[in-house]
Amino acid sequence: MKIGIVCYPVIGGSGVVATELGLYLAQRGHQVHFFSYALPFRWDPNLQNLFYHQVETSNYPLFKYPPYTLTLAAKIADIAVKEDLDIVHAHYAIPHAICGYLAKQMIPEKNLKVITTLHGTDVTLVGSEKSFWDITRFSIVSSDASTAVSEHLKKEVCNTFNICNDIEVIYNFIDPAKYKPCDPCDLRKTYAPNGEKLLIHMSNFRSLKRIPDVIDTFAKIHKKIKTRIILIGEGPDTATATQMAENYGISDDIIFLGSRQDVASILSAGHLFLLPSEHESFGLAAMEALCCGVPAIGTDSTGLPELIDHGKSGFLCKLGDTDDMAEKAVELLSDEDMWESYSKHARKTVSEKFNYEKIVAQYENMYDKVLNR
């Protein structure tokens, strides 16, 4: 099968999932073509059956803004004909699914199929930009098939766009061989040299991730037990985290690592993962931590309840309730037997339920179903 994947190349859940899906599909014998304005994050240059098509925009002075979407649609149509693509898999409704639809209309004789995977921001973006409602809905209903990364997100799509019958839930996935507990863990000794319990947060540091809640929760835990926290990623609220750390007087125990490629080894060094997000369609970072045997604390009004087993692999708390998050964290980190039980349950359930072989096969089945329809 020849598959085109359209995604953002930057660090983030959708880009990571799209890229790794393409890598696994290539390993399984499919020919995979990526479309983006830069080389996708976590790209593997040594893999066969994998191709990248860079989309470059024109600087024609008539345009106030470079017409990336039109260039992307033209590139998809061109490669679809030259390489005889069967399917274009768009990750994000806007603009990628619309570009796939436009490319399909440009080459009607090709009968190109377009599949759209919704990751979350495609829906939440509509909440603040009502002008996108019609075109986002159109991109979903005009696709040959659409998927959502969680039941929580599917419900959001249903409520926002009044469509849901044809949306299939296909969860994000993980390779347990890459994300696994460390024993012994030299990184834990490096980051917590005095035997401190090590907390981790990883995100794009945007407002939806509630970075102030991360720092506030850590400060409350820090008062009761010896802890340090690793912050992976960067974004608009990085400066907020730095300022709050100074205000609380805990800067020495907060480690800012910025954007990293080697997250698996860092996550495995942790004792607890914090993700107090306002919105989380699935929680890819939390899944990676759980697979490493690191219990997690998240919010119950997101997609995290589909990932975290409350009272077994972590805890689910109310949005903004940093007192409860800190209390649960102290309870878990203070009881070695309890932590060991949560760690084993996290590793077992995530590695089984979200195993990449199982999930990638679900995508392959969807491709076959669309092609044979």
Kindly list the structural domains of the chain, giving each domain's residue range(s) and its CATH number in brackets, ordered by start: 2-172+356-371 (3.40.50.2000), 186-353 (3.40.50.2000)
pLDDT category at 182 given cuts 50, 70, 90 is: confident
* Per-residue pLDDT at 304: 97
* Per-residue pLDDT at 54: 93
* Per-residue pLDDT at 185: 76
Q: What does the pLDDT look like over 234-283, one tens digit per residue? A: 999 999 999 999 999 999 999 999 988 889 999 999 999 999 999 999 99
What are residue 340's phi and psi, to 5 degrees? -60, -40
pLDDT exceeds cutoff 80 at 193: yes
Q: What does the pLDDT look like over 343-363, one tens digit per residue? A: 999 999 999 999 999 999 999
pLDDT exceeds cutoff 90 at 116: yes
The mean pLDDT of 60-83, rounded to a whole number, is 88
C-alpha span between 82 and 348 (Å, rounded): 44
pLDDT exceeds cutoff 90 at 146: yes
Going by their DSSP bridges, the two strands 254-258 and 227-232 should be labelled as parallel
* Per-residue pLDDT at 12: 67
The mean pLDDT of 79-93, rounded to a whole number, is 96
Q: By CB neighbour count within 10 A (0-12 exposed, 13-18 middle, 19+ buried), where does 150 fall?
A: buried
Q: What does the pLDDT look like over 7-18, one tens digit per residue? A: 988 766 788 899
Q: What does the pLDDT look like over 183-192, one tens digit per residue? A: 667 889 899 9
Output the six-digit token pair for 43. 């790209």
The percentage of residues in the chain with a pLDDT greater than 70, rounded to a whole number, is 98
C-alpha span between 85 and 364 (Å, rounded): 15
In the block, tokens 């209309």 appear at 105
* Per-residue pLDDT at 127: 63
Q: What does the pLDDT look like over 198-220, one tens digit per residue? A: 999 999 999 999 999 999 999 99
pLDDT exceeds cutoff 80 at 158: yes
Q: What does the pLDDT look like over 25-39, one tens digit per residue? A: 999 999 999 999 988
* Per-residue pLDDT at 196: 96
The percentage of residues in the chain with a pLDDT greater than 90, rounded to a whole number, is 81
- Compare 40 and 322 and report the one with higher pLDDT: 322
* Per-residue pLDDT at 67: 85
C-alpha span between 267 and 248 (Å, rounded): 25
* Per-residue pLDDT at 165: 72
Q: How many CB atoms lie within 10 A of CB 318?
A: 12
- For residue 126, give the nearest of 100, 161, 167, 164 by alpha carbon: 161
**Mean pLDDT across the chain:** 93
